[in-house]
Structure 1
Amino acid sequence: MEATSATLLTFGVILLLASWVQLLIVSFKEDYTWGLATIFLPPLSYFYSLFALNKAGSALGLSILGMVLIFFAL
């Protein structure tokens, strides 16, 4: 693996983890059940963020940026 792709992959994974933590905080503020769904079913929480863009839009943007970085790393 080249240094550039390893760096992109690392930053992509970091951004995905940061977006998940941010989404975890937002979803627990919204409702206890959404917070639990974020912990146990992360894909469902990103589906929730599509419908609550005013509250979780930045977390969704971070996750999209992380996925783009991971895509370019591969």
Structure 2
Amino acid sequence: MEPYSALFLTIGVALLLLSWVQLLITSSNEDYTWALCTLILPPVSYLYGLFRLDKAMDAIATAALGWVLILLACAT
């Protein structure tokens, strides 16, 4: 694995983890049930973020950047 693709992959995964934590905090401030769904089923938290884009825009943008970096790592 090339050094740049390893770096992109590591940063991309870290950004995805950070966005999940941001969504966990946002959903726990909004509703208890969404917080539990976010904790147990992480893909559901991104569905919540898409429905509540006004509150979770930063987390969705962080996740999108993470996916771009992961795709760049796989392409190289």
Give your verdict on TM over 0.5: yes
Give the match for residue 25 of structure 1: 25
Is residue 35 of structure 1 aligned with residue 35 of structure 2? yes
Q: How many residues align?
A: 74
Q: TM-score, normalised by structure 1?
A: 0.98
CA-atom RMSD in angstroms = 0.5
Shift of 1:52: 0.4
State, as a whole percentage, how many aligned pairs show the same letter.
59
1:3, CA displacement in angstroms?
0.2
Question: Which residue of structure 1 lines up, in the alignment, with residue 62 of structure 2?
Answer: 62
1:13-59 Cα offsets, whole Å, 9 max, x none, are 01000000000000000000000000111111101100101100100
Unaligned runs of 5+ in 1: none
C-alpha distance in structure 1 between counterparts of 2:59 and 2:38, whole Å? 12
Aligned to 1:50: 50
Letter in 2 for 1:42: P
> AA paired with 2:65?
L
Partner Cα distance (1:67, 1:40) in 2: 21
Q: Which runs of 5+ in 2 are unaligned?
A: none
